[in-house]
Each structure stands twice: as C-alpha cells, then as structure tokens.
Structure 1
Amino acid sequence: MPDLYAVADFCLIPMGTGNSSVAEEIAECQRVLEKSGLKYKMHGYGTNLEGPWSQVSQAIHDCHAALHAKGTPRIATDIRIGTRTDRELVPGEGNDEKVRRVREILARDQK
C-alpha cells in the first residue's frame, strides 16, 4: 500500500527550559520543517504540516531531536492527523483546500 497523504496539525511544547517564552525553540522547529521540503504553515498555537505520512512523522521527530540537541530536556507534542481516500488530494493544498471550502460556504451567507 502506498504511503498515505497526511494533513496534520501539531503543537510542540518545550518544557524545562527555564524560560516562559518558547519562541527560540519554535523558530528552530520551523528551520527543521523548512529543510524537510514539506508544506507547512505556522499559526498562533501550532503548525499545519502536510505530505506523505512517513515524512510528516519524520519531520515532527526531527523537530524533537533538534530541540533536544539544543538542550531542551522535555517536549510534549499534540498531533492531529487526517487522511482521506474518498478523493484525490492535491499535494501541498490539503489545509488550504479545507479553509477555501469553508470560506466558500461563508461567502454564500453574504449574498
């Protein structure tokens, strides 16, 4: 069976850094995601990430590894992953398509 295309949202939570800000750690994770070649988009409480399931999970793993290598002693990550087989997803447009569809529905309310 081919690798499933995954549309994910994850929130990585560094702990034990002695600092209430996690901006440095999140910036490092964004650097890791840039190198992954996957489509991603940071938002206020996490990151949308999409691509083949194995690459998505590897990228999240690599974020953990990079932060541990920089001295973060603990990391918790909340992950939601969606897949679908009822229709073909355009790679790199999974999250955008979800948002576009809802906006279309809301636009009908304006008419």
Structure 2
Amino acid sequence: MIVAFSVSPVGETHHVGDAVAECVRVVRESGLPNETNAMFTNIEGDWDDIAAVLKQCIEVCERHAPRVSMVMKLDHHPGAGHEHSLAYKTRRVEEAVEA
C-alpha cells in the first residue's frame, strides 16, 4: 500500500513548518519507504504500519494546535507482488519522461 498524505495543525498557530518537520521525522524514523515533496509525504507499507505513523503525526500536530487537518490518498493493490512500489512508480514515470 502507498499512502500520500498531508497533515497540518489548524488554529492558534501561523507557522506550521515546525510541526510538519516533526511529522516528516516520524515518517523517516519509521523505516518505511517514503519520500516528501512540496505538497505531500508518500509512505509505503502495510496498512497497520502506515496507520500507526499517521496517528503519530496527528499527535505531533495536536501538540501545536487544537485542531488537525489531514488529506490522504491511498493506493491499495493487494497481491500485486510488487516490491518497492513507491520507487518503481517514480522510476517508471521518469523513464517515460526521458523517452
């Protein structure tokens, strides 16, 4: 499963960068394959592992503000047999662009 998500504290704070940076650290320390871009963080793994990371990110944001906003998109492809789907999908697009 791959999940693209964006999470941010809402209310009583004008600067969300510190909370977002803490969440990115949580993702990276999880050991799951991941990448961060200007809009989302992508993470790959089993649902239970990903859900635990998302929960930690929500808890981080709760320390910064009274509300949390999260946008999430997931690609669940059970039994696909693809390892490293995150890297494969990115590489495949880059190869197509260069062709």
With structure 1 as the length reference, what TM-score do the two structures score?
0.79
Runs of 5+ consecutive residues of structure 2 not aligned to the other structure? none
Q: Equivalent residue for 1:15?
A: 10
Q: Equivalent residue for 2:23?
A: 29
CA distance in 1, matches of 2:26, 2:12: 19
* CA offset digits 1:51-88 (Å, max 9, x no partner): 111111110111101221x2321111010110213631
Aligned length: 99
- Structure 1 stretches of 4+ with a deviation exceeding 4 A read none
Any conservation in 1 of the 2:34–2:42 contact (CA below 8 Å)? Answer: yes
- 1:40 and 2:34 equivalent? yes
CA distance in 2, matches of 1:64, 1:85: 26
CA distance in 1, matches of 2:61, 2:54: 11
Bigger radius of gyration: 1
Aligned equivalent of 1:77, options 61, 70, 75: 70
CA distance in 1, matches of 2:65, 2:32: 24
SS of corresponding position for 1:87: coil
The verdict on how the C-alpha distance between 1:71 and 1:14 changes in structure 2, with shifts beyond 3 A counting, is closer
SS of corresponding position for 1:33: helix
CA distance in 2, matches of 1:18, 1:74: 10
- Counting aligned pairs with the same residue, the percent is 25
Q: Equivalent residue for 2:45?
A: 51
Any conservation in 1 of the 2:11–2:65 contact (CA below 8 Å)? Answer: yes
